[in-house]
Amino acid sequence: MYREIIMRTFIKFLLVILTTTAILSCTGSATTTDSFRIIPKPSSVKIGKSYFKLNSNTVINYNDSGIDFSAKYLKEILERSSNIEIQLKQESTPEKMSISLLIDPNQEKVDGAYKISVTEELVEVRSSSHSGIFYGIQTLLQLIPPEIMGNNKSLTDISLPTCTILDTPRFQWRGTMLDVARHFFEVEEVKRYIDLISLYKINTLHLHLSDDQGWRIMINSWPNLAIIGGKTEVGGGEGGYYTKNQYREIVKYAQDRFITIVPEIDMPGHTNAILASYPELNPDGIAKKPYTGINVGFSSLDIKNELTYKFVDDVIRELAELTPGKYIHIGGDEAIPQGSGRPGEEIDKTQMKIDYKYFIERVEKIVLSHNKTMIGWDDIESADLHESTIRQIWHLKAKKSKNRAILSPADRAYLDMKYNQKSKRGLVWAGYIDVDKGYNWDPLLDFPNLEQDQILGIEAPLWSETIEDIKDIEYMAFPRLIGYSEIAWSKEEHRNYEDYIHRLATHGRRLDILGVNYYRSELVTWLPRDYQKSKLVKKKTDD
C-alpha cells in the first residue's frame, strides 16, 4: 500500500516535470509537437518542421465581408498578446507573408469545416462557410503557446508551425445552456461565457429565461413579467431581467462568434414567477407569492383558461421577433397541468396527462405560426408532435420517436452536478461528474433507442440553483465543457480519454491566462500554477 502511494506520487511528479519541460521548451519562438494539443481534436493534423513567423509586416487578408469580424478578432488577439502590429486587408489574392482567411466554395460543404495550411511564407484558412473560418482561427490560436491568450503584450515572437489540418464537425448542435432564471446573470457575465465557449467551437447557447424563481426578459405586452417576476431569484437576491436591447446585444455578440441563442420560456410548469406577476392567469384570480426556494413541480399555467393561450402567443411572438435563430424552447418539463388543479377540482392523473398533451400541442401550433421550430424537454414526447419539433433528452433511456433529438444526459452532461463530495457548488441528484465521467460517453453508442440521423448533437446545461455569479459559472463549466466540445465536434474514432486529459493539461495553462476560475480536477496532471514564476527564473538563469 505504502509502496503504491510512493510509486503513484513519483509517477505524478514525473508527469508534471515532463509536461512542464515540454511547455517551457515551446514558449518563445520554438515549438515542439507536444504543444499541439488541440481541443476539440481535428480530423487530421500533419505538422512540419519549420515555422511561419509573424512580424509587423504581416497582413491578415480576407476575401469576404462575412469574415470581417473573424479577421478583426484574430488581429486583436495577436496585438493584445504581443507588440506586433497587424494590418487587415480585404482582397482576393493572398500576398506573400500573409495570414489569409478565404471563403472557398471548393472546400467541404459541411457548415464549420475548414482547412489550414501553414508554410514558411503563408498561413491559409479556407472554408466554404464563415463559421469554418472562425473555427480555423480557434485552431490556429491553439498552435501557438497559451500566452497568445494574454493581454500584456508579453510575447516577443509569434510563430506558427508549418502544418496541414483538415477538420469537419461531427455534429451541428454543440451547445450549452445557462439558467439565468434561478439566478440572474448580467449581460457582461453572459458575454464572458460566450467568449469562453466560443474558444471551443460551441455553436449554441440556450438561455433558460424563466422559471418559478424569476422571469428574465422584457415582454412589452406583459411588462409585469419582468417588472414583478424579474425581481426575485433563489435565496431572495434581487434578480433582474434583460431589456429588449440587452437581449439583442447578447444575440449579436453570440452571432459574431457563430453562436445561436435559443431562448426558453418554461411552461406549463416552472411558472410561479408568471403567476406572481399576473393574478388573472391564476384559476382563483389571486397572484402567487414570489418563490425563492429550489423545489420543482408545484406550479402550472391554467390549461383551461383562454387567456393563457393569448399570453403564450404574445410572449412567443415578441421573443420570435427578437431572435434571429430558428428555435424557441418551450420547456415542458416537470409539469402538473392544472385543468385538474382548479379550485374545487380533484387532481386526476389521467386528466392531467390529457391536459398536458392538449397544452403542448396547442403551444406547438403557436410556435410554428411564428415561423420557429419548437424544442421541449423529453416530457413533450407524450404529445403528438409536429415532425420539425426537437426533443431535448436528459436521460439515457429516451424512447423511440420520429422527432429529432438533442442529448443532455443528466448523469453525464449536467454542468450543475458536483464534481465530487468536496465540490462547494452544485447538486448531486444525477451523481458526481468529474472529467472522466463527463468525457466517457458517446452520443451515438449510448442511446440505442434513437436513430442515428435523429441525433442533432449534444448540449450541456448549467442550472443555477447553486450558481450565483460568473466565477461559479466558470468553475462548474470548466474544464468539463471542453470535453463536451470534443464529444460534439470530434469523431468517436479520434477520441481517447488518456489522450484527452493529456491535452487538457495544456488547456489549464490557457484557462489560467484567461483568468478562468476552473476546477483543477485531480484526474488531470495540470501544470503548476506558479508556472509563470518558474519560467521567469529559468529565463534569468539562461541569460
Kindly state whether residue 427 participates in binding ligand TNX, applying the rule CB under 6 A: yes
* Measured CA angle at 475 (ends 471, 481), to 5 deg: 125
Give 291 or 463: the residue with its C-beta nearer to ligand TNX: 463
**Of positions 36, 394, 489, 500, contacts ligand TNX by CB under 6 A:** 394
Q: H/E element holding 68? A: helix 68-81
Give 273 or 511: the residue with its C-beta nearer to ligand TNX: 273
* Shortest Å, Cβ 208 to ligand TNX: 8
* Shortest Å, Cβ 410 to ligand TNX: 6
486: amino acid identity, one letter: E
Residue the block writes with cell 446545461: 461
Give 415 or 450: the residue with its C-beta nearer to ligand TNX: 415
* Measured CA angle at 440 (ends 437, 441), to 5 deg: 110
What is the torsional sign of CA 228, 233, 236, 242?
A: negative
Kindly state whether residue 241 participates in binding ligand TNX, applying the rule CB under 6 A: no
* Measured CA angle at 155 (ends 154, 161), to 5 deg: 165
Kindly state whether residue 264 participates in binding ligand TNX, applying the rule CB under 6 A: no
* Shortest Å, Cβ 85 to ligand TNX: 48
Kindly state whether residue 184 participates in binding ligand TNX, applying the rule CB under 6 A: no
Encode 110-128 in three state secondary structure. Answer: CCCCEEEEECCCEEEEEEC
Kindly state whether residue 414 participates in binding ligand TNX, applying the rule CB under 6 A: yes
Query: Which among 250, 258, 179 has a CA at the least distance from the CA of 426?
Result: 179
* Shortest Å, Cβ 334 to ligand TNX: 6
Kindly state whether residue 16 participates in binding ligand TNX, applying the rule CB under 6 A: no
* Shortest Å, Cβ 264 to ligand TNX: 10
Give 114 or 377: the residue with its C-beta nearer to ligand TNX: 377
**Of positions 377, 439, 500, 519, contacts ligand TNX by CB under 6 A:** 377
List phi, psi (to 5°) of 485. -65, -35
Catalytic residue from among 95, 186, 249, 334? 334
* Shortest Å, Cβ 296 to ligand TNX: 5
Kindly state whether residue 463 participates in binding ligand TNX, applying the rule CB under 6 A: yes
Kindly state whether residue 416 participates in binding ligand TNX, applying the rule CB under 6 A: yes
Kindly state whether residue 296 participates in binding ligand TNX, applying the rule CB under 6 A: yes
Q: Is the peptide bond before 279 cis (omega within 30 degrees of 0)?
A: no
Q: Which residues make Cβ contacts (< 8 Å) with residue 49, sequence separation at least 6? A: 162
* Measured CA angle at 94 (ends 91, 96), to 5 deg: 135
Give 359 or 463: the residue with its C-beta nearer to ligand TNX: 463
Q: Say which DSSP state 148 is in.
A: G
* Shortest Å, Cβ 29 to ligand TNX: 47
Q: Which residues make Cβ contacts (< 8 Å) with residue 362, sequence separation at least 6? A: 309
DSSP 448-512: TTS-GGGEEEEEEEE--SS--SHHHHHHHHTTHHHHHHHHHHS-GGG--HHHHHHHHHHHHHHHH
Q: Could you tell me how many residues of this chain bind ligand TNX (CB under 6 A)?
A: 10
In angstroms, the CA 481 to CA 462 distance is 10
* Shortest Å, Cβ 383 to ligand TNX: 16
Give 41 or 418: the residue with its C-beta nearer to ligand TNX: 418
Kindly state whether residue 333 participates in binding ligand TNX, applying the rule CB under 6 A: yes
Give 281 or 410: the residue with its C-beta nearer to ligand TNX: 410
Q: Which residues make Cβ contacts (< 8 Å) with residue 318, sequence separation at least 6? A: 219, 220, 221
Give 411 or 436: the residue with its C-beta nearer to ligand TNX: 411
Q: Is the peptide bond before 479 cis (omega within 30 degrees of 0)?
A: yes
159-167 and 204-208: which strand pairing?
Answer: unpaired
Give 37 or 404: the residue with its C-beta nearer to ligand TNX: 404
Q: Say which DSSP state 382 is in.
A: G
Binding pattern for the stretch 143-172 against ligand TNX, x by CB under 6 A and - elsewhere: ------------------------------
Kindly state whether residue 36 participates in binding ligand TNX, applying the rule CB under 6 A: no
Answer for the pair 376, 327: CB distance below 8 angstroms, yes or no. no
* Shortest Å, Cβ 266 to ligand TNX: 8
What the block records as the C-alpha cell of 349 is 392523473
334 is an active site residue: yes
* Shortest Å, Cβ 331 to ligand TNX: 7
Calculate the alpha carbon distances from 122 to 144, 220, 244 in Å.
16, 52, 44
Give the count of alpha carbons within 13 A of 19, CB side only: 22
Please state the separation of Cα 276 from the chain's center in Å.
31
Give 333 or 512: the residue with its C-beta nearer to ligand TNX: 333
Catalytic residue numbers? 334
Instruction: Summarize as ranges the residues that interact with ligand TNX (CB under 6 A).
Output: 296, 333-334, 377, 394, 414, 416, 427, 463, 465
